């Protein structure tokens, strides 16, 4: 795939996202002209781009869609749910066509073609055909709009548009092919006559093959309006000089045009005669008269050009409006674009890797400086390490993206699914500005999709059912994101019936996941839904209920070093909370030592450190200022067989609102930790989140505090439960 095509595909996908958002918006506020314009603009940009990359199948499809949008914009048809649904499926179809283009195929396969044909037929039947007789589609503006009439006897005889086009020198360098614009123009009407102007073409030895020297005078027969013709040249708008004269324009306008164009008036005049825009008599007459243009403009001092043109009935008022609006849009878009740079993700990853190496190298320099005892050196290295820290933060920031975009995708999902299920569901999004690592954003989409679909299908009840339970008929689904002590929380909350404890337990027994009579807490029961092959829906719908979802959700989230928890209140709804680490690459760590090994505890979870008092032998909790603080002895947990030193320390850690202690030998201070994954053979390990390389070159393990404490708790629970329970479920 060449570069232009790939740019086209990327940009078109963005346009599609915008299109979808605008369509959903349109459904909510029908008839809002801004939204309508946004829809139209997106569709048109895609079509224009497709014309430039000469992708016929996209042009053909989008063209029809645009026709419908055009009618919509002209108020010939009204916005309805059905129409939006069809337009959304059009957007999907364009997406599929882009896939085809991206895959390098020249034509979509049969299935896709058939799908496209079905959608088009539907558009044609329901929205295009029925109105065609009532209002003929976009005739030339002069024919449809009364105010623009070619007043006076100066009207010229031709009924074609006249387009004067001078491509700028940089058009070719910008990757645009002038011919493809002409070819695309041809799809709007018929080029009656075209004359190429090669006046600026220098002698062969001076000619730069990358510079475009060409200009065109085109006599163009079309029923499209001026804006439509102008839009053909959207992509080279800044790079070319474009003059369009409507059919039956005044002779004066032609003369004005002649004066404006850089070429010699006489020569141009001849060309205009040749392509049939003017007759020789008209030209002679015009040149003889040489009426100064817009004399009135000199009188009405500051009258803007647009108004003058309107006064002269040269252009339609709405054209001026459109032009002004367009200028505004273009400048806004440019402002937004100038704030963004597209970078290939692998370049960024390379940078982050290098920063990671820099952090490790810096740590070893610090270590050596500390050993050397030279105070100047220590000072210099501490300055460097502070800078390295800032570089690290800045580099990581580069990869952070807002989660809002991912959330917004769900507007469409919720709309479609709620329709399909016959439920009325409102999606409330908060915290869309929360930033997280790009690679995580990409991977969190699927699990979220499962959760949202599940919540809609199983969670939220049918409207009748809701009303019967005294709840508003409209269900509410929330997507929230926020920061919580060094992690990012993403919640999917519904106000449905909640999880059915009994049913889950019964199912779990039936599936042999738990033993009958086994007592489990509510949380444990709810978490059973994440087991493979578990689904309690009595009916399997095509949305969910096949029981393949939830365990995949948990696995995906775990692969991001995250966790997912569910809480639920019967009759009030359930809440799925996903906890994700802030970044995947580098964290601030707290280095501790047990025996000869060093471990890193993520600093975000560390609250304080205290000394473990001697009298704590035999029990695993301490009194922390009147609070009971349970702790984990890392030495016992990890089976390190040596004699503990006389003095041990407790690192108090916090996660998800809970506090616990971790008993270690030494506290070795803060440490910038570059996370190195432990490889797939350790993927089932619990309590260790990864590894890092210390300044000395040794590998230290990073503790996963939450998993560690949970593991310890389970361990204890099990050994406590063993005497009563003959056989634990799945030992």
Q: With binding defined as CB under 8 A, does residue 349 bind other proteins? A: no
Instruction: Please identify which residue in 114, 540, 699, 716 interacts with other proteins, judged by CB under 8 A.
Output: 699
CB of 521 to other proteins, least distance (A): 10
Residue 517 interacting with other proteins (CB under 8 A): no
357 versus 627: smaller Cβ distance to other proteins: 357
Cα separation, 636 vs 663, in Å, equals 10
Minimum distance from residue 729 beta carbon to other proteins (Å) = 5
Asked whether position 520 contacts other proteins by CB under 8 A, the answer is yes
Instruction: Give SS3 for 434.
Output: coil
Question: How far is 701 from 598, CA to CA, in rounded Å?
Answer: 7
User: Residue 58 — left, alpha, or beta (φ > 0 → left; ψ -120 to 50 → alpha)?
Assistant: alpha
Please report where in the chains the tokens 């014309």 appear, as a residue. Answer: 51
> From CA 653, how far away is CA 637, in angstroms rounded?
17
Considering only residues 378 to 407 of the shown chain, the ones binding other proteins according to CB under 8 A are none
Q: Which of residues 523-582 bind other proteins (CB under 8 A)?
A: 524-525, 527-528, 530-531, 554, 563
**Which is nearer to other proteins, 436 or 700 (by Cβ)?**
700
Sign, Cα dihedral of 431, 432, 438, 441: positive
Q: How far is the CB of 638 from other proteins (least distance, A)?
A: 3
Determine the interface stretch with other proteins among 200-208, 273-281, 397-405, 518-526 (rule: CB under 8 A): 518-526
In angstroms, give the least distance from the CB of 77 to other proteins: 52
Query: Quick one: 572 or 717, whose CB is closer to other proteins?
Result: 717
Phi/psi of residue 155, each to 5°? -65, 140
∠ at Cα 109 (17, 116), nearest 5°? 50
Using CB under 8 A as the binding rule, whether residue 99 contacts other proteins is answered as no
* Contact yes or no for 103/1 (Cβ under 8 A): no
In the complex with other proteins, which residue's Cβ is closer, 371 or 684? 684
Q: Distance between alpha carbon 510 and the CA centroid of its chain, in Å?
A: 42
CA angle 126, 131, 136 (to 5 degrees): 140
Q: How far is the CB of 366 from other proteins (least distance, A)?
A: 17
CA distance 561 to 679: 13
Binding status of residue 514 toward other proteins by CB under 8 A: yes
Q: Closer to other proteins at the Cβ: 621 or 682?
A: 682
The C-alpha atoms of residue 566 and residue 496 are separated, in whole angstroms, by 14
**What SS3 class is residue 420?**
helix
CB 513 within 8 A of CB 528: yes
Checking 329-332 for CB contacts under 8 A at 24+ apart, the result is 329/41, 330/237
Residue appearing with tokens 């304080």 = 608
Token reading at 1: 């795939």
What's CA 42's distance to the chain center, in Å? 15
Q: Interacting stretch for other proteins, rule CB under 8 A, among 105-113, 455-463, 470-478, 699-707?
A: 699-707
Site size toward other proteins (CB under 8 A) is 46
The least distance separating other proteins from the CB of residue 31, rounded to whole angstroms, comes to 51
CB of 302 or CB of 730, closer to other proteins:
730
Contacting other proteins within 230-269 (CB under 8 A): none
- Taking the complex as a whole, the smallest distance from the CB of residue 728 to other proteins amounts, in Å, to 6
- Using CB under 8 A as the binding rule, whether residue 509 contacts other proteins is answered as no
Residue closer to other proteins (CB basis): 132 or 522: 522
Q: Which of 164, 159, 163, 222 is nearest to 190 (CA)?
A: 222
Give the nearer residue to other proteins in terms of CB position, either 472 or 677. Answer: 677
Structure tokens at 536: 């309690």
Stretch 612-641 residues interacting with other proteins (CB under 8 A):
637-640
| By CB under 8 A, residue 439 contacts other proteins | no
Nearer to other proteins, 286 or 356 (CB): 356
Kindly state the smallest distance separating residue 703's Cβ from other proteins, in Å: 10
Give a three-class secondary structure readout of 635-668: HHHCCCCCCCCCCEEEEEEEECCEEEEEEECEEE
Exposure class string for 489-512: b at 16+ Cβ within 10 A, else e: bbbbbbbbbbbeeeebbebbeeee
Looking at 628, 643, 681, 726, which residue binds other proteins (CB under 8 A)? 681
Please select the residue that binds other proteins; options are 147, 175, 300, 728, rule is CB under 8 A: 728
Q: Does 697 bind other proteins (CB under 8 A)?
A: yes
Residue 687 binds other proteins, judged by CB under 8 A: yes
Cα end-to-end distance, the chain, whole Å = 54
C-alpha to C-alpha distance for 71 and 39, rounded to whole angstroms: 13
**Which DSSP category does 605 fall into?**
G
Tracing tokens 């989140």 back to the chain, one arrives at 689
Verify binding: residue 597, other proteins, rule CB under 8 A. yes
| Residue 35 found at the interface with other proteins (CB under 8 A) | no
Distance of alpha carbon 424 from its chain centroid, rounded?
26
Single residue of 108, 691, 695, 712 touching other proteins by CB under 8 A: 691
The residue among 50 and 499 lying less far from other proteins, judged by its C-beta, is: 499
Specify the residue, 373 or 512, whose C-beta has the smaller distance to other proteins.
Answer: 512
Identify which of 586, 585, 631 has the alpha carbon closest to the alpha carbon of residue 608.
631
493/513 with CB nearer other proteins:
513
For residues 289-348, which are near other proteins according to CB under 8 A? none
Contact 637, 708 (CB under 8 A): yes
Q: Of 158 and 527, which CB lies nearer to other proteins in the complex structure?
A: 527
d(CA 428, CA 421): 19
The per-type count for the chain, helices as H runs and strands as E runs, is 25, 21
Question: Could you tell me the smallest distance in angstroms from the CB atom of residue 242 to other proteins?
Answer: 52
Q: Which of residues 353-372 bind other proteins (CB under 8 A)?
A: 357, 360
Q: Which stretch binds other proteins (CB under 8 A): 86-94, 180-188, 517-525, 582-590?
A: 517-525
Q: What share of the chain is helix, strand, coil (3-state, %, to 5)?
A: 50, 20, 30
Choice from 513, 560, 580, 606 touching other proteins (CB under 8 A): 513
Q: Which is nearer to other proteins, 119 or 560 (CB)?
A: 560
CB of 415 to other proteins, least distance (A): 33
According to the binding rule CB under 8 A, does residue 701 interact with other proteins? yes
Smallest gap from residue 720 Cβ to other proteins (A): 13
Cβ–Cβ < 8 Å for 695, 364 = yes
Binding span for other proteins by CB under 8 A among 147-155, 396-404, 445-453, 694-702: 694-702
Q: Do 473 and 422 touch, CB atoms closer than 8 A? A: no
Residues forming contacts to other proteins in the complex (CB under 8 A) are 357, 360, 513-514, 520, 524-525, 527-528, 530-531, 554, 563, 597, 637-640, 676-688, 691, 693, 697-701, 710, 714-715, 718, 728-731
């Amino acid at each position: 795939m060449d570069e232009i095509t790939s740019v086209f595909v990327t940009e078109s996908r963005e346009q599609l996202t915008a299109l979808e958002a605008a369509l959903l918006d349109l459904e909510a506020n029908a008839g809002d002209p801004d939204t309508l314009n946004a829809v139209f603009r997106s569709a048109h940009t895609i079509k224009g781009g497709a014309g430039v990359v000469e992708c016929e199948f996209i042009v053909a499809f989008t063209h029809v869609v645009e026709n419908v949008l055009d009618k919509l914009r002209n108020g010939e048809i009204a916005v309805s749910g059905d129409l939006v649904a069809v337009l959304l499926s059009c957007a999907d179809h364009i997406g599929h066509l882009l896939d085809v283009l991206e895959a390098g195929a020249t034509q979509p396969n049969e299935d896709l073609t058939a799908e496209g044909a079905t959608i088009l037929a539907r558009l044609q039947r329901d929205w295009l055909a029925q109105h065609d007789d009532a209002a003929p589609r976009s005739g030339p503006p002069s024919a449809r709009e009364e105010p623009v009439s070619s007043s006076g006897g100066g009207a010229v005889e031709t009924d074609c548009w006249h387009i004067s086009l001078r491509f700028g020198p940089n058009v070719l360098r910008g990757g645009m092919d002038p011919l493809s614009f002409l070819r695309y123009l041809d799809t709007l009407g018929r080029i009656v006559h075209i004359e190429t102007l090669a006046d600026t073409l220098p002698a062969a030895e001076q000619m730069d093959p990358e510079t475009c020297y060409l200009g065109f005078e085109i006599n163009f027969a079309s029923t499209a309006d001026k804006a439509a013709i102008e839009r053909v040249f959207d992509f080279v708008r800044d790079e070319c000089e474009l003059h369009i004269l409507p059919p039956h324009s005044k002779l004066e306008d032609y003369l004005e045009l002649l004066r404006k164009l850089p070429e010699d008036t006489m020569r141009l005049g001849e060309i205009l005669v040749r392509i049939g825009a003017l007759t020789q008599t008209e030209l002679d007459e015009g040149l003889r008269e040489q009426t100064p243009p817009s004399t009135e403009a000199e009188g009405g001092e500051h009258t803007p050009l647009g108004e003058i043109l309107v006064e002269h009935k040269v252009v339609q008022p709405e054209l001026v409006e459109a032009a002004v609006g367009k200028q505004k849009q273009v400048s806004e878009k440019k402002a937004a674009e100038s704030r963004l740079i597209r970078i290939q993700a692998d370049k960024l990853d390379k940078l982050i890797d290098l920063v990671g190496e820099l952090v490790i190298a810096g740590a070893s320099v610090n270590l050596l400086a500390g050993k050397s005892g030279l105070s100047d050196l220590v000072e210099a290295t501490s300055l460097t390490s502070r800078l390295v820290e800032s570089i690290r933060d800045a580099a990581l920031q580069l990869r952070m993206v807002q989660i809002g975009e991912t959330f917004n995708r769900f507007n469409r999902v919720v709309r479609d699914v709620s329709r399909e299920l016959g439920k009325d569901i409102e999606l409330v999004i908060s915290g869309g500005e929360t930033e997280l690592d790009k690679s995580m954003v990409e991977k969190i989409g699927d699990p979220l999709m499962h959760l949202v679909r599940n919540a809609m299908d199983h969670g939220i009840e049918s409207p009748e059912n809701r009303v019967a339970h005294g709840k508003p008929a409209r269900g509410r689904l929330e997507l929230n994101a926020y920061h919580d002590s060094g992690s990012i929380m993403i919640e999917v909350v519904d106000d449905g019936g909640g999880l059915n404890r009994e049913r889950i337990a019964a199912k779990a027994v039936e599936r042999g996941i738990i033993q009958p009579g086994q007592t489990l807490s509510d949380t444990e029961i709810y978490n059973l839904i994440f087991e493979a092959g578990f689904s309690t829906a009595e009916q399997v719908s095509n949305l969910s209920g096949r029981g393949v979802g939830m365990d995949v959700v948990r696995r995906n989230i775990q692969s991001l070093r995250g966790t997912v928890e569910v809480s639920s209140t019967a009759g009030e709804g359930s809440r799925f909370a996903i906890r994700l680490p802030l970044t995947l690459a580098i964290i601030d760590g707290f280095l501790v030592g047990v025996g000869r090994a060093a471990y890193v505890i993520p600093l975000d979870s560390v609250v304080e450190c205290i000394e473990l008092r001697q009298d704590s032998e035999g029990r695993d909790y301490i009194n922390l200022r009147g609070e009971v603080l349970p702790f984990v002895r890392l030495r016992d947990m990890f089976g390190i067989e040596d004699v503990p030193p006389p003095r041990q320390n407790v690192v108090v850690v916090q996660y998800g609102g809970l506090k616990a202690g971790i008993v270690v030998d030494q506290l070795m201070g803060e440490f910038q930790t570059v996370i190195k994954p432990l490889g797939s053979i350790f993927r089932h390990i619990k309590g260790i989140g990864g590894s890092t390389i210390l300044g000395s070159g040794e590998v230290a393990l990073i503790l996963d505090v939450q998993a560690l404490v949970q593991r310890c708790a389970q361990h204890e629970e099990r050994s406590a439960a063993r005497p009563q329970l003959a056989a634990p479920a799945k030992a």
